[in-house]
Amino acid sequence: MTSYTNIQANTQASEPLTTTVVTALDRNLYALFEGDATATPFAQLQEPAIQDLAVTAAKMPDVIAPTSTSTGVFTNAIAVSTIQSNVVDRTSTTAVYQSVNQTLARGGSYTFYLYSRMTRSSGNMITKNSLVVNGVVEASTTYSSGSNYSDQVTLTGLSSGDVWYIKNERISGTGVIDSTTSAVSLIADTSSIDELYLDRGIYQRFGAYTDNWIAAVSPSWGWSNLSNLGTPAAWFSFGSLQGLTLPAAANKIYTI
């Protein structure tokens, strides 16, 4: 790569025309177009210098799906939206608790990360939480022992308008179990040329002895390193929910 030479101090009227100055006049333009990092403090191509619609899909890099390690550290990805579903004191042996749908606003390659915390108070009930995309279960977490479980899936070729949600269902046994499940959708940062957007996440609560309700929350906190999160609740900015009074009747919707 051609190196950039700063000759600002050598362009005064009294300065001699040296080989260094002439070489810089010849090579600096190449250095700028080639993207020499040392030119950053002086002159780099800025967005206003690019003609509208001048960059076509043919000039964009190949799609790179979001990647992660087993601890949930993601690269090449942008968090788009989140869902959290909280099933409290589940005693039903038949009910399936399904969150409201989330709709993708743009197509691309997505990685979905599913995290569940399940605690059993009594009995031997086994429950499963599933991530469903366009009607197909793509990732799931099932209670066995302990309390924390995670799964993830990368899906390419998703389209604007595709739907995803999470659900909780009984697999076997009876008793009482609580289940908090979070899912985040992350889009590959090179898989779409549409303008970047960020949806508001949703929090939905189901319970045998409490009202069912929904609240809107921010999906923008701490998505890039999920290994540092002690509970799925930390995915959300729950400060906006402090002091919230539950509705007296079921099926109330809150927008915060």
pLDDT in tens, 8-32: 888 888 888 888 888 888 888 888 8
Residue 122's pLDDT band, with cuts at 50, 70 and 90, is very high
Please indicate, yes or no, whether residues 35 and 104 belong to a single structural domain of this protein.
no
pLDDT above 70 (res 217): no
Q: Cα(133)–Cα(81) distance, rounded to whole angstroms?
A: 14
Examine the domain organization and report whether 141 and 26 are in the same domain.
no
Query: What would the pLDDT profile of 68-91 be if each residue is shown by its tens digit?
Result: 766 667 777 777 888 888 888 888
Considering the entire predicted model, what is its pTM?
0.64
Looking at the fold, whether 116 and 30 belong to one and the same domain comes out as no
Q: Give me the chain's average pLDDT, please.
A: 75
Q: How confident is the model at residue 108 (pLDDT cuts 50, 70, 90)?
A: confident
Q: Could you tell me if 161 and 219 lie in one domain?
A: yes
* Residue 197 in domain: yes
- Looking at the fold, whether 32 and 76 belong to one and the same domain comes out as no
Whether 40 and 91 map to the same domain: the answer is: no
Asked if 214 contacts 86 with a C-beta cutoff of 8 angstroms, the reply is: no
Reading the block at residue 10, the tokens are 């050598």
The answer to whether residue 55 sits within a structural domain is no
Which structural domain range is residue 30 located in? Answer: 8-49
Residue 121 lies in a domain: yes
pLDDT for residue 12: 81
Q: Are residues 81 and 204 in the same domain?
A: yes
In a domain, 58, yes or no: no
Q: Please report, to the nearest 10 degrees, the dihedral formed by the alpha carbons of residues 45, 50, 54, 59 taken in order.
A: 20
Q: How many domains does the chain have?
A: 2
Q: Are residues 17 and 74 in the same domain?
A: no
Lowest mean pLDDT among 41-55, 104-118, 190-204: 190-204
- Domain with residue 164: its CATH number is 2.60.120
CA distance 206 to 96: 10
Of the two residues 64 and 78, the one the predictor is more confident about is: 78
Q: Are residues 242 and 133 in the same domain?
A: yes
CB neighbour class for 49 (10 Å; exposed up to 12, middle 13-18, buried from 19): exposed
Whether 3 maps to a domain, the answer reads no
Question: Are residues 201 and 82 both part of a single domain?
Answer: yes
